[in-house]
């Protein structure tokens, strides 16, 4: 179960504790707090919040009956117009915890007028990444679908003019990444002068990504009188500083310790050789018949290579990382959500905020350099109460990273042996340079499987070029050798065909 405490500041004076603090450093420098006890969320229903029938209808469409702990805590507080500092990760239901009361509060201004002036921006939700912006925007659209409220999502990497067209018609709720929002401000395609509510989602990541100056510029464009909601997975010193400068006597809401890992996620680590990692991923996916898996890689190149390797092994996979265009990232995400691909190989930044319902498994092909990213990664599974598996691979060189993670989550992760795995020499993606030099460290330790040849090399060959290169015949398996032309590689390598 998620631990929950709601801390309500009382005139910044006396503090009375009725529940133990689950997060000792979280509120040191913010304001005096009173801790309130909440009813169990299984007895609270969305109807109990006094939400409008249009919102309840949208929730019923999603079959949501009971709020998650963060929703039970935050919705009444946001409805009161209070500032909130929420410690909650993606996967706890935090998006609805701010979207639903925002929609409720804005309903007072909802209208069906065609005039853009009647639809000023009243709520601004800032997110660190395009993916999270899309995710939040999708949720807002769903929850407001039976109301006349309009929303728009703004992020970079795509043509700005389509966003400008939407803004021109007027929208009450804007979900944006800071950079693209400022582009619109500069082009005077958006006005923030009537913004009543500001949300900073995943504020810790926004600071990590260097958005503080942009955030300050944006806040300076907003009316002084407004409601502020700040959500962050962790309450670091920097986040507290941000909260102190932007929030007014916030109610602090915490769901679980910031670095706790979800109880329902089964975690396991396998020690493997660095060069065998991609093959181990294939083995895990096949032997467990996994579908809908996110595999985390520390690097863009690692993500791309692994996705390619999986595809070559007949596993439908795609990579998302910062070097992919926004359209490629959206296409990959959609394909994953639709089940057209089974595996999404992602870097941390690209995966931030991704919400894919009931993800059964995440695999860390690399342990993250930053231990907190481990918590974020495995938060992709076991979402909203569902159970999940988090599998991590590590090699000798990652020992210190594993120790950092275990220190952070305050327990040892179970070590397991890989059963039925036989590494092959062929086509692992660990270190292609080394492969080319023939320096794989398991050359002598294991007998390689037959190597599959990229289909490109098996295309029919011109009749005049009939020579057979020794090097080529070594690369073609015995059965392939009977049927396939073998001299293409020799020609490619500069060999002269015999006539």
| Alpha carbons 481 and 489: distance in angstroms, whole number | 13
Site membership for ligand AMP, residue 386 (CB under 6 A): no
DSSP states of 233-275: S---HHHHHHHHHH-SSPEEEEES-TTPPPTTEEEEEEE--GG
Site membership for ligand AMP, residue 129 (CB under 6 A): no
For 35, other C-beta atoms within 10 Å of its C-beta total 18
* Contact pick of 384, 426, 468, 481 for ligand AMP (by CB under 6 A): 384
Site membership for ligand AMP, residue 383 (CB under 6 A): yes
Site membership for ligand AMP, residue 27 (CB under 6 A): no
Pick the stretch among 91-99, 143-151, 322-330, 488-496 that binds ligand AMP (CB under 6 A): 91-99
Q: Which is nearer to ligand AMP, 383 or 488 (CB)?
A: 383
What letter would DSSP give residue 113? -
* Contact pick of 9, 33, 35, 67 for ligand AMP (by CB under 6 A): 67
What letter would DSSP give residue 400? H
What letter would DSSP give residue 427? T
* Contact pick of 49, 64, 211, 246 for ligand AMP (by CB under 6 A): 64
Site membership for ligand AMP, residue 292 (CB under 6 A): no
Q: What is the dihedral of CA 212, 218, 219, 223, to 10 degrees?
A: 180
Site membership for ligand AMP, residue 355 (CB under 6 A): yes
The nearest distance, CB 380 to ligand AMP, in angstroms, is 10
Chain centre to alpha carbon of residue 245: 27
Q: Which is nearer to ligand AMP, 92 or 258 (CB)?
A: 92
Pick the stretch among 1-9, 60-68, 363-371, 425-433 that binds ligand AMP (CB under 6 A): 60-68
| Alpha carbons 238 and 225: distance in angstroms, whole number | 24
Q: Which is nearer to ligand AMP, 58 or 276 (CB)?
A: 58
Q: Which is nearer to ligand AMP, 90 or 227 (CB)?
A: 90
Total binding residues toward ligand AMP, as defined by CB under 6 A: 15
Nearest-CA neighbor of 147 among 168, 119, 177, 117?
A: 119
Site membership for ligand AMP, residue 96 (CB under 6 A): yes
The nearest distance, CB 67 to ligand AMP, in angstroms, is 5
Site membership for ligand AMP, residue 93 (CB under 6 A): yes
Site membership for ligand AMP, residue 379 (CB under 6 A): no
* Contact pick of 7, 23, 82, 94 for ligand AMP (by CB under 6 A): 94
Q: What is the dihedral of CA 145, 139, 127, 100, to 10 degrees?
A: 70
What letter would DSSP give residue 425? S
The nearest distance, CB 384 to ligand AMP, in angstroms, is 3
| Alpha carbons 270 and 259: distance in angstroms, whole number | 22
Quick check: 337 and 358 in contact, CB under 8 A? no
- Report the residue number whose CB is nearest to ligand AMP: 95
For 403, other C-beta atoms within 10 Å of its C-beta total 12
- DSSP lists the bridge partners of residue 84 as 229, 251
The nearest distance, CB 419 to ligand AMP, in angstroms, is 33
Residues of the shown chain interacting with ligand AMP in the complex, contacts defined by CB under 6 A? 64, 67-68, 71, 90-96, 355, 357, 383-384
């Amino acid at each position: 179960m998620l631990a929950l405490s709601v801390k309500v500041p009382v005139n910044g004076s006396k503090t009375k504790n009725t529940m133990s603090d689950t997060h000792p450093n979280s509120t040191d420098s913010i304001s005096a707090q009173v801790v309130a006890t909440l009813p169990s969320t299984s007895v609270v229903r969305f109807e109990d919040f006094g939400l409008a029938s249009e919102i309840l209808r949208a929730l019923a469409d999603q079959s949501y009956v009971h709020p998650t702990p963060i929703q039970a805590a935050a919705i009444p507080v946001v409805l009161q117009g209070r500032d909130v500092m929420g410690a909650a990760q993606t996967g706890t239901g935090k998006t609805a915890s701010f979207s639903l009361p925002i929609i409720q509060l804005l309903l007072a201004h909802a209208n069906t007028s065609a005039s853009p002036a009647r639809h000023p921006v009243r709520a601004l939700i800032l997110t660190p990444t395009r993916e999270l912006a899309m995710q939040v925007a999708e949720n807002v659209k769903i929850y407001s679908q039976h109301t006349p409220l309009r929303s728009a999502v703004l992020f970079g990497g795509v043509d700005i003019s389509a966003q400008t067209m939407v803004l021109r018609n007027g929208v009450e709720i804007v979900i944006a990444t800071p950079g693209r929002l400022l582009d619109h401000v500069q082009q005077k395609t958006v006005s923030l002068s009537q913004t009543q509510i500001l949300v900073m989602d995943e504020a810790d990541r926004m600071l990590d990504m260097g958005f503080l100056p942009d955030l300050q510029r944006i806040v300076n464009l907003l009316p002084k009188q407004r409601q502020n909601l700040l959500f962050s997975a962790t309450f670091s010193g920097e986040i507290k500083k941000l909260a102190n400068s932007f929030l007014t006597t916030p109610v602090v809401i915490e769901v679980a310790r910031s670095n706790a890992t979800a109880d329902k996620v089964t975690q396991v680590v396998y020690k493997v050789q660095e060069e065998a990692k991609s093959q181990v991923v294939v083995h895990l996916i096949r032997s467990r018949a996994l579908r809908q898996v996110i595999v985390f890689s520390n690097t863009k190149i690692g993500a791309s290579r692994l996705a390619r390797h999986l595809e070559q092994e007949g596993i439908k996979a795609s990579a998302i990382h910062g070097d992919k265009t926004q359209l490629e990232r959206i296409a990959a995400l959609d394909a994953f959500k639709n089940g057209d691909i089974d595996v999404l190989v992602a870097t941390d930044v690209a995966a931030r905020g991704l919400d894919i319902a009931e993800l059964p498994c995440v695999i860390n092909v690399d342990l993250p350099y930053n231990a907190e990213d481990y918590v974020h990664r495995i938060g992709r599974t076991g979402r909203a109460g569902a159970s999940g598996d988090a599998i991590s691979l590590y090699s000798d060189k990652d020992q210190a990273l594993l120790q950092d993670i275990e220190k952070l989550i305050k327990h040892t992760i179970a070590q397991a042996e890989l059963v039925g795995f036989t590494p092959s020499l062929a086509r692992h993606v660990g270190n292609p340079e080394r492969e080319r030099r023939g320096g794989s460290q398991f050359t002598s330790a294991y007998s390689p499987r037959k190597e599959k040849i990229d289909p490109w090399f098996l295309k029919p060959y011109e009749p005049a070029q009939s020579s057979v290169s020794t090097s080529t015949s070594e690369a073609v398996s015995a059965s392939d050798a009977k049927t396939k032309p073998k001299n293409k590689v020799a020609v490619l390598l500069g060999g002269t065909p015999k006539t």
